[in-house]
Amino acid sequence: MNIESPNNVCEESVFNTVFKTNSKTVFNYIYYKFGNEEKAHDAVQEAFVKLWENCAKVPPEKAKSFVYTVANNLYLNVIKAEKVRLKYADKTLKSTNETPEFLMEEDEFRGKLQNALNSLPENQRVTFLLNRIDGKKYKEIAEMEGVSVKAIEKRMHLALKSLREQIDGI
Amino acid sequence: MQENYLAKWLNNELSEAELTEFKKSDEYASYQRILDVSNTLEAPEFNADEVLMAVNNRRTLQETKVVQLNPFKKFMKVAAVAAFLVLGSYFYLNSLDEKVSTQYAENREVVLPDNSEVVLNADSRLSYSEKKWDKERNVNLYGEAFFKVAKGKRFTVATDAGTVAVLGTQFNVENRKGFFEVTCFEGLVSVTFDGKETKLPAGSSFLAINGEIRDELESNGSQPSWMNAESTFESIPLKYVLQEFERQHNITVETEHVNTAQLYTGSFSNTDTNLALKSISMPSQIKFKLEGDKVLFYAEKAE
Which parts of chain A are beta strand (E)? none
Weakest mean pLDDT among B4-8, B31-35, B198-202, B220-224: B220-224
Nearest to B11 by CA among A166, A25, A136, A117: A136
Q: Does residue B51 form part of some domain?
A: no
Shared domain check, B105 and B212: yes
Shared domain check, B238 and B214: no
**Which residues lie closer than 8 Å to B241 by C-beta, 6 or more apart?**
B231, B233, B264, B268, B280
Query: Which structural domain range is residue B193 located in?
Result: 100-218
The total domain count for chain B is 3
Q: Please write the tens of the pLDDT for every residue from A15-45.
A: 888 898 889 999 988 888 877 888 888 889 8
* Residue A6 distance to chain B (closest CA, Å): 22
Q: Please write the tens of the pLDDT for every residue from B14-32.
A: 888 888 888 888 888 888 8
Q: Is A60 helix (H, G, I), strand (E, B) or coil?
A: helix
Task: Output the pLDDT for position A150.
Answer: 92
Residue from B46, B58, B59 whose CB has the most chain A CBs within 10 Å, to mutate: B46
Residue A155's CB is within 10 A of a number of other CB atoms, namely: 26
Query: Has residue B301 got a pLDDT over 70?
Result: no
Shared domain check, B247 and B190: no
Shared domain check, B247 and B207: no
As a whole number of angstroms, the distance between CA B281 and CA B263 comes to 12
Task: Enumerate the residues of chain B whose CB falls inside 8 A of the CB of residue A131.
Answer: 10
Query: Has residue A5 got a pLDDT over 50?
Result: no
Extents of the domains making up chain A = 12-78, 100-167
Q: Does residue B188 form part of some domain?
A: yes
CATH number at residue B266: 3.55.50.30
Q: Please write the tens of the pLDDT for every residue from B71-128.
A: 677 788 888 899 999 998 888 777 777 888 888 888 888 888 888 888 888 888 888 8
Task: Output the pLDDT for position A148.
Answer: 92
Contact at CB, B5 and A157, closer than 8 angstroms: yes
Residue from B10, B33, B52, B55 whose CB has the most chain A CBs within 10 Å, to mutate: B55
Mean pLDDT (whole number) for A133-158:
90
Task: Enumerate the residues of chain B whose CB falls inside 8 A of the CB of residue A9.
Answer: none
Phi and psi at B164, nearest 5°, equal -125, 125
Shared domain check, B205 and B109: yes
Task: Report the amino acid identity of residue B207.
Answer: L
As a whole number of angstroms, the distance between CA B156 and CA B135 comes to 12
* Residue B72 distance to chain A (closest CA, Å): 23
Task: Enumerate the residues of chain A whose CB falls inside 8 A of the CB of residue B31.
Answer: 160, 164
Selecting from 3.40.50.80, 1.20.1250.20, 3.40.50.2300, 1.10.10.10, what CATH number does the domain A100-167 have?
1.10.10.10
Shared domain check, B104 and B18: no
| C-beta separation of B200 from B188 below 8 A | yes
- Which residue would you say has higher pLDDT here, A101 or A143? A143
pTM of the model: 0.47
Shared domain check, B212 and B104: yes
Contact at CB, A164 and B34, closer than 8 angstroms: yes
Shared domain check, B198 and B106: yes
- Which residue would you say has higher pLDDT here, A149 or B97? A149
Task: Enumerate the residues of chain A whose CB falls inside 8 A of the CB of residue B7.
Answer: 138, 152-154, 156-157, 160
